[in-house]
Amino acid sequence: MKKNFLILITLFLFITILLTSTSLCDDIENDEIVDVNAYITSTNISNSAIKIPETNSRSCVVIDRNTNTILYGKNESTVRKMASTTKIMTATIVIENCNLDEAVEISKKAAATGGSRLGLKTGDKITVRNLLYGLMLCSGNDAAVALAEHAGGSIQGFAELMNKKATDLNLFNTHFETPHGLDAESHYTTAYELAILSNYALNNNTFAEIVGTKTYTITINNYPKTLSNTNELLGSLDGIYGVKTGFTNGANRCLVSACKRNNIDIICVVLGADTKNFRTSDSIKLINYIFDNFKLINIKELIENEFNDWKNKNLDTFIVNKGISQNMNIALDNIQFSYLPIRKDLIDSINISIDCQNNFEAPLDSDLEIGELKVLCKDSNIANIKIINVSKISKQSAYSYLLYFIKNFPLIVENTLI
């Protein structure tokens, strides 16, 4: 009897250890306490000596939200696992395709999903909106499966929607297999493409409101439950208004942050940090680096001034052979953005070059591309803008030549006699 009791105790301890080790492979966000204030005070960078931050994370990127320009990058195009930052796409698909006030009944499959959980049970009734809060605030994998089944019919069906959206957004190094981000072989992205996805998602007011919420009370079966956001920077670092945390053994620690200060609006992505402390400190380092060392420049004004000056000096050199007119009307194609953050020590290195054809054969179509304006900052290409011919120029006809001959006959005779 005593021997059997010892065997049972041993078996119980073995199962406990096994379950504990298995949970480490799941997306469980609250296993490490981080003092954000310690990093806020220790990572500010002086304006007088611009120093590129050193980071622990395997891949990092900071982009300007208005232009998608990369302001900082480290292995930003390297394919990596992304853990629960996957849920940025999950929430986007659901918000764009579902009635958020519709009730969902939780399936056995959703209720059995492991890792970080909202705590759903089979048969629970909860709205799509409340599932979204459970998805993005407490990173509920059970909520992710419930939403996938509701919006896509199954996890596979939902993954097809996710991958179609990725293709629509030109995320060609991104592929989804699950709605929650638990490690899977064909589930990956890059830091840059995750930033682009996050930028797109934040343009939706519902998504932005959810990921910017620190605490929220939902109802499950009409019973209230208060959720807290796993994002350690939200409410702790100036200007942070989202977005999503993540962790699996394969992805390590991940964090996508959106931050706005003094009209500079950025998204910072860190993937593959060794610890939660590292993902926090890396994010704060990069965010402070941008706001301490970049300045908004009216790049549109610089471009237009340079182009107008060049046009005034060169318009008389344009020739349209056999054209009924030599009056070229040239202009810049649409400039997509007005302001761009530029690192302060690189502002003086901004250079604008113009390469434009000046000899043409009629007829000329309107909106014909005839050249290109390039904006360079040190070794980086900031923008390429087309130069177009605005007005159509027709080719001279036989009648046009006759009129020209009659009108200029005396001059032609005079020149011939000479």
Catalytic residues: 84, 87, 139
Question: Can you give 153-198 as a three-state secondary structure string?
Answer: CCHHHHHHHHHHHHHHCCCCCCECCCCCCCCCCCCEECHHHHHHHH
Q: Could you give the CA distance from residue 403 to residue 279 in angstroms, rounded to a whole number? A: 77
How many CB atoms neighbour CB 268 within 10 A?
A: 29
Q: Are 244 and 84 in contact (CB under 8 A)?
A: yes
Report residue 98 CA to chain centroid gap.
23
> Is it true that the peptide bond before 53 is cis, omega within 30 degrees of 0?
no
- DSSP labels, 229-272: ---TTTTTSTTEEEEEEEEETTTEEEEEEEEEETTEEEEEEEEE
Nearest to 139 by CA among 61, 243, 236, 223: 243
Q: Could you give the CA distance from residue 69 to residue 351 in angstroms, rounded to a whole number? A: 17
Crossing angle for the helix pair 155-168 and 87-97, to the nearest 10 degrees: 90
Q: Could you give the CA distance from residue 315 to residue 102 in angstroms, rounded to a whole number? A: 62
Exposure letters 274-294 (e unless 16+ CB within 10 A, then b): eebbbbbbbbbbbbbbbbebb
Q: Could you give the CA distance from residue 147 to residue 221 in angstroms, rounded to a whole number? A: 17
